[in-house]
Amino acid sequence: MTDLEKTLMDLCLPLVDDKQALSVKTMTSTNDNEVLLYVYANSEDVARLIGRKGMMASSLRQMMSIAARDIKKRISVKFEAY
């Protein structure tokens, strides 16, 4: 698990009920200056992570953007339910 994956996992873990079902994966991007992170969880937990009007998701993306400054890359965080 990369540092960015661990950081996002640490941010999301307290927000979900089913901690065992939460996973964060780094996906390859067509752009070398971008890191794609996907958060996988059950639908109820994904709804909680996205929040009302996307406020929680926006906050998580902002925090991850700050975390990615060290590697000088743009970061995208996407939420997927299974």
pLDDT digits (tens, 9 = 90+) for 35-53: 999 999 999 999 999 999 9
pLDDT at 82: 86
CA–CA gap between residue 77 and residue 36 (Å, rounded): 6
pLDDT at 28: 87
**What architecture is domain 3-81?**
2-Layer Sandwich (3.30)
Percentage above 90 pLDDT, the chain: 79
pLDDT at 33: 87
| Strand ranges, E, within 1-82 | 23-27, 34-41, 74-81
Mean pLDDT by 10 residues, the chain (82 residues): 86 94 92 92 95 96 92 93 90
> Which residue type sits at 77?
V
